[in-house]
Amino acid sequence: MGYSNLLVLVFLSWVLFIPGAHQLQNSQTNVLLQLRNYLEYPSSLEIWENYSGDLCNLSSSPQLTITCEDNSVTELKIKGDKLANVSGFNGYAVSNQTLSESFSMDSFVTTLTKLTSLRCLSLVSLGIWGPLPDKIHRLSSLASLDLSSNFLFGSIPPKIARMVRLQTLVLDGNFFNDTIPDWLDSLSNLSVLCLKRNRFKGQFPSSICKIRTLTDITLFHNELSGKLPDLSSLTNLHVLDLRENHLDSELPAMPKGLVTALLSKNSFSGKIPEQIGQLRQLRHLDLSFNLLSGMPPSVLFSLPEISYLNLASNKLSGSLPNHLSCGGELGFVDISTNKLIGELPSCLGAISDKRVVKFGGNCLSIDMPNQHQDSYCKEANLRGKQFSGIRLGELVGVIGGAVLVMVLLAFGVCILCRRYRSQETVEQHALPKVVQDNSPAGVSAEFLANARYISQAAKLGTQVALVYRLFSLEELKEATNNFDQSTLIGEGFIGKLYKGRLENGTDVAIRSLAFLNKNSIRNLKLHLDLLSKLRHPHLVALLGHCIDVGVQDDSCASKVFLIYEYVPNGNFRTHLSENSLEKALKWSDRLANSNWCCQGCALST
Ligand SMILES: *[C@@H]1O[C@H](CO)[C@@H](O)[C@H](O)[C@H]1NC(C)=O
Ligand SMILES: *[C@@H]1O[C@H](CO)[C@@H](O)[C@H](O)[C@H]1NC(C)=O
Ligand SMILES: *[C@@H]1O[C@H](CO)[C@@H](O)[C@H](O)[C@H]1NC(C)=O
Ligand SMILES: *[C@@H]1O[C@H](CO)[C@@H](O)[C@H](O)[C@H]1NC(C)=O
Ligand SMILES: *[C@@H]1O[C@H](CO)[C@@H](O)[C@H](O)[C@H]1NC(C)=O
Ligand SMILES: *[C@@H]1O[C@H](CO)[C@@H](O)[C@H](O)[C@H]1NC(C)=O
């Protein structure tokens, strides 16, 4: 028995003190394995399970791409299957949707930032939840950051301003609920800014207009309100998507290179500026569902590249000139539900396979059932003029009745009120989270030996699949009644051993280690991951760990806790050398045990 025990110790010592021959690649591999642990083993990373080669050598797939240079990861793309499609997310973990409650965004990003050479990072639909920590900026080589379709909330952290290499920032489909920061112009190389499907509120930050490199701005489906500034300085902008917000100014001047402008479902008012007629590359213009008035500029229809023009559901009035010409590319026009009168221009009226035209809900003088009477549109036009304060006298003259004016005024007030949409207020709760480092660590052989107790489960031959995870300090405090003296079951030269009970009723042994310097922690981290995979009925399983971070920086961690499955009946040695006969193992059992041990080692190696 002594011999086999020694074997275990030799094996474990070897595990704990592997020389750092391929330091760089090993540590990077370690970080990747840790990230998998944090992400709770998503199916996209299943391929790592039985793969013993270099992770950089895996062929890339839509779910996973790893690219390396000089033994460092430069590109990491993981796509999961957890769609961020929860309407009631309020900042807490949601079962089957987000990662579990024990996930800590802060620790996750701490680990992530160890991939210091990363240039491209994409973590999509992985159920990641929490506020985005400031320390993400430590990935200073990053040119592309995509964290779409997760459960991030709060604000875009200010230190992102230091990531001057960023060219692409994509945070689509999260729950960001602060304002869009006004310092984005610090990202002087930014070309793609996609923040769609979040809850960003406040104004469109005017500093965005200073980022000349921008080609795409997508802020679709947020809660932005107020004025849209003059964007004409963004000479490289091709795509502007501001649909489904509450922007309520007039339309500003647009940059000349714009190809796609999607501004529907806001509260833009006033006339459509003639300046849009100068956008020679414009292909796709959607201004529908706003409060735009006046005559649409004829030139919109004849822009050389225009193929999609949607002006539906506004308050456009007047009559389009009959000689209006349509651009050669124009395939879809929607002018329905406005206040247009007169004839339908011939290029829109001609029945053609090439072009779809929608014009219902106006007052056009054509023989179609879905047009209103002229008077409907004229009244609306007059009302429109009244509200913009133009020619009130003329209005009175035309209507010729003060009583009617009063009625119209009242009606107008109603319409004005409707423009101020009530904004949703979402009740959300602040989320207290324990700061904890999640990097695996190694353990000295001595205390591992001390922590080994004969497991009841092992005796019964049962083996439960145990998942290694990270524990929070709060959790451990709760399990041990704040490390109460009564839960202390042993004390040695390397630390204390406590018995505790987790929330789910599992009994655990918690070993606390005090660390003296950074190096021992680093050493520990290198090997914990390996230890976490030792699973055998005859080995006490390490269930997880917790690093108590005294200060923000994990290099200053003050304490490490290792959580083992709890095995009653004292430690192994007492059963071999115990004086009291009933506790000591019989020789037949000892022989059987030594067999287990050897098998255990062999299997684990
Ligand atoms: C890994 O190998 C084990 C044993 O051969 C097998 O049961 C398991 O399904 C494999 N996992 C994957 C993801 O292929
Ligand atoms: C990875 O691939 C390269 C080139 O294909 C090869 O030289 C190297 O040995 C591979 N490394 C591993 C660990 O498989
Ligand atoms: C999101 O959930 C709603 C119902 O909760 C469902 O109708 C919709 O299809 C889902 N969207 C996606 C992209 O899964
Ligand atoms: C979560 O998913 C599992 C398996 O898909 C299912 O059995 C369980 O009922 C789900 N739980 C909830 C709360 O939806
Ligand atoms: C900005 O991007 C260009 C390429 O698009 C690159 O050559 C340049 O180095 C970048 N600048 C910074 C500060 O990263
Ligand atoms: C954002 O959402 C979180 C979580 O739901 C909430 O605690 C926080 O107060 C919200 N912040 C703002 C600015 O609304």
Q: Is residue 263 part of a domain?
A: no
Q: Which two tokens stand for residue 240?
A: 């502007």
By alpha-carbon position, which residue is closest to atom 14 of ligand 5? Answer: 165
pLDDT at 77: 95
Q: Is residue 101 part of a domain?
A: yes
Give buried/exposed letters for 234-273 (b at 16+ CB in 10 A, else e).
Answer: beebbbbbbbbbbbbbebbebbeebbbbbbbbbbbbeebe
Q: For ligand 6, is residue 153 a contact (CB within 6 Å)?
A: yes
DSSP 453: B
Q: Is residue 43 part of a domain?
A: yes
DSSP 504: T
Residues whose CB is less than 8 angstroms from the CB of residue 81 and which lie 6 or more positions away in sequence, other chains included: 42, 43, 44, 125
pLDDT at 583: 53
Question: What DSSP line would sit under 21-43, residue for residue?
Answer: TTHHHHHHHHHHHHHHHHTT--G
Q: Is residue 286 part of a domain?
A: no
Return the CATH number at 597.
3.30.200.20
What's CA 251's distance to the chain center, in Å? Answer: 31
pLDDT at 524: 67
Ligand 4 closest atom vs CA 95: 13
Alpha carbons 499 and 569: distance in angstroms, whole number: 13
The answer to whether the CB of 171 falls within 8 A of the CB of 198 is yes
Q: Which of 50, 61, 63, 533 to mutate to test the pocket of ligand 1 (most atoms within 8 A of CB)?
A: 50
Q: Is residue 530 part of a domain?
A: yes
Return the CATH number at 137.
3.80.10.10
Ligand 1 closest atom vs CA 50: 1
Among 412, 567, 414, 598, which Cα is nearest to 497's? 567
Strand partners, 224: 202
Within 10 angstroms of residue 368's Cβ, the number of other Cβ atoms is 11
pLDDT at 535: 64
Give CA separation, 237 vs 250, 281, 309, in Å: 20, 11, 19
Alpha carbons 480 and 485: distance in angstroms, whole number: 9
Instruction: Enumerate residues lining ligand 5, CB below 6 A.
Output: 164-165, 189
User: How far is ligand 2, taken at its centre, from the CA of residue 57, in Å?
Assistant: 6
Among 277, 319, 326, 265, which Cα is nearest to 294's? 319
Closest ligand to Cα 29: 2
Q: Is residue 447 part of a domain?
A: yes
Strand partners, 391: none
By alpha-carbon position, which residue is closest to atom 4 of ligand 6? Answer: 91
Last residue of a domain, one of 116, 150, 178: 178
By alpha-carbon position, which residue is closest to atom 3 of ligand 1? Answer: 50
Q: Is residue 284 part of a domain?
A: no
Last residue of a domain, one of 178, 211, 231: 178
The answer to whether the CB of 531 falls within 8 A of the CB of 17 is no
Within 10 angstroms of residue 280's Cβ, the number of other Cβ atoms is 12
- Extract the residue ranges of the chain whose pLDDT is less than 70: 1-25, 380-468, 492-494, 504, 514-527, 529-539, 547-559, 568-605
Q: How many domains does the chain have?
A: 2
pLDDT at 509: 86
Angle at 444 between CA 441 and CA 450, to 5 degrees: 115
In a 13 Å sphere around the CA of 85, the CA atoms on its Cβ side amount to 4
Which helix (H) or strand (E) segment holds residue 292: the answer is strand 291-294
Q: For ligand 3, is residue 85 a contact (CB within 6 Å)?
A: yes
Instruction: Enumerate residues lining ligand 2, CB below 6 A.
Output: 53-54, 57
Q: For ligand 4, is residue 96 a contact (CB within 6 Å)?
A: yes
Residue 418: which domain range?
390-604
Looking up tokens 């000689």 gives 323
Ligand 5 closest atom vs CA 188: 13
**209 — phi, psi (to 5°)?**
-70, -10
Alpha carbons 565 and 509: distance in angstroms, whole number: 6
Strand partners, 422: none
Among 249, 131, 153, 132, which Cα is nearest to 199's? 153
Q: For ligand 6, is residue 91 a contact (CB within 6 Å)?
A: yes
Q: For ligand 1, is residue 49 a contact (CB within 6 Å)?
A: yes
Ligand 2 closest atom vs CA 56: 1
User: How far is ligand 5, taken at its centre, from the CA of residue 165, in Å?
Assistant: 6
pLDDT at 464: 39
Last residue of a domain, one of 146, 178, 210: 178
Strand order in the sheet with 175-176: 129-131, 151-154, 175-176
Q: Is residue 80 part of a domain?
A: yes
Is 520 in a helix, a strand, or coil? helix
User: How far is ligand 3, taken at its centre, from the CA of residue 221, in Å?
Assistant: 16
Residues whose CB is less than 8 angstroms from the CB of residue 389 and which lie 6 or more positions away in sequence, other chains included: none
pTM of the model: 0.64
**73 — phi, psi (to 5°)?**
-75, 125
pLDDT at 200: 97
Ligand 3 closest atom vs CA 83: 14
Looking up tokens 């304002």 gives 179
pLDDT at 271: 96
